[in-house]
Structure 1
Amino acid sequence: MMGKLLLLLAGLMSLAGCSSIDVDQYRDQQPALDLRTYFNGTLDAHGIFQDRSGEVIKRFHVLIEASWKGDVGTLDEHFTYADGTTQRRIWTVTRHGDGRYTGTAGDVVGEARGEAAGNALRWRYVLALPVDDRVINVDFDDWMFLMDDKVMLNRSVMSKWGLRLGEVTLSFYKRAD
């Protein structure tokens, strides 16, 4: 009996994880997000990682140098965490038209896929995340919302096997060129 109940609960949790918002519902929202325009030049981002209970586990700053050649962009991200540790991630992002994007980075498993509409971008990928003495592949579901020509907000849900592990919240600020 208990086994059937656990199986039913696991099934319901996996169904809940499948429901999602379509980025197209933001199509009429302004200002319109063009990744080539926003992620071009120097940007600062401040963020936190919260575990599933809501406790802030990490605070960090990201300095981003971004540039584009046609439809291919490079985002060179330099992370500095509150504990003094650092990390670097270099994204290569390709615009495919119709609001679709793909991207790769050294710690991204396979290819990230994104779709933009209006002021929003949904960006999904698998990240190889070092935890203690091993690496765990976790799913990221990022939502970015352009607020104005300088500010973008980002909320990412991190999960494994459909179970929510935590959230990353970022505020991007585009420096004046």
Structure 2
Amino acid sequence: MDIKDFVGTSPELLPESYLAGDLEGWGVVERLTGGLQQRFAVKARGTWDEAARVLSFTETWTFDDGRQDTLSWRIAKLASGRYSGEEPRVEGEAEGDRAGCAFNWRYTRDTPQSGGDNKSMVLNFNDWFYRIDERVVMVRGSAGRAGIPFSIVHATYRRL
């Protein structure tokens, strides 16, 4: 799949617009081979700074085992539908592209895991966001290591 496949589709997904404000979400993590790994709920809030062209976006994921993971993003809007992002646990920079109703977000993050306060794993993420309507975006993402996915995330975000 290529972001160019979505040119001209609507409704348009502009991360700086859709992710500004309060959102909530829900989803599941599945093994690539099938089978439910985890369920989760998300609470998020974003603020767009037009002058700096930066979105500050914080999302807290609460998993069915009670574990929480909070991501604090600073996402810069670049030229030609491109984005870059920083988050304290992300290695290097996140990269994003948007066209029409879609946004593709890629990054590598030291991600907290179940089983202890200090247990984490460096994972590669490749997330595809699809705008459904004014309030809803659906996400299909993959998580893996060394570029090989082993989990699939399905999430739905709703603007409040």
TM-score under structure 2 length normalisation: 0.91
Secondary structure of residue in 2 paired with 1:148: coil
User: Is 2:139 the counterpart of 1:157?
Assistant: no
Equivalent residue letter for 1:78: T
Deviations for 1:48-106, whole angstroms, at most 9, x for unmatched residues? 11122221111111100111111101111122111222221111100012110011112
User: Is 2:45 the counterpart of 1:30?
Assistant: no
The CA distance in 2 between the partners of 1:173 and 1:34, in whole Å, is 15
Deviation of 1:134 after TM superposition, in Å, equals 4.8
The CA distance in 2 between the partners of 1:150 and 1:111, in whole Å, is 28
Deviation of 1:169 after TM superposition, in Å, equals 0.9
Secondary structure of residue in 2 paired with 1:97: coil
Which residue is 2:121 aligned to? 136
Equivalent residue letter for 1:35: P
Higher strand share goes to which structure?
2
Which residue is 2:106 aligned to? 124
Identity %: 27
The CA distance in 1 between the partners of 2:78 and 2:147, in whole Å, is 28
Candidates 31, 38, 42, aligned match of 1:58:
38
Equivalent residue letter for 2:120: V
Alignment of 1:34-45 (within 5 A): 34-45=14-25
Higher helix share goes to which structure?
1
Cα RMSD over matched residues? 1.4
Deviation of 1:27 after TM superposition, in Å, equals 0.6
User: Is 2:47 the counterpart of 1:67?
Assistant: yes
Deviation of 1:138 after TM superposition, in Å, equals 1.6
The CA distance in 1 between the partners of 2:35 and 2:73, in whole Å, is 28
The count of residues paired between Structure 1 and Structure 2 equals: 155
The CA distance in 1 between the partners of 2:64 and 2:145, in whole Å, is 25
Deviation of 1:168 after TM superposition, in Å, equals 0.9
TM-score under structure 1 length normalisation: 0.82
Q: Is the 8 A contact 2:69 2:112 kept in 1?
A: no
Deviations for 1:12-48, whole angstroms, at most 9, x for unmatched residues? xxxxxxxxx2101101110111112101110001011
User: Is 2:130 the counterpart of 1:145?
Assistant: yes
Equivalent residue letter for 2:123: V
Q: Which of the two has higher C-alpha Rg?
A: 1
The CA distance in 2 between the partners of 1:29 and 1:45, in whole Å, is 23
Alignment of 1:47-126 (within 5 A): 47-70=27-50, 71-126=53-108
Which residue is 1:8 aligned to? none
Which residue is 1:12 aligned to? none
Moved more, 78-87 or 113-122: 78-87
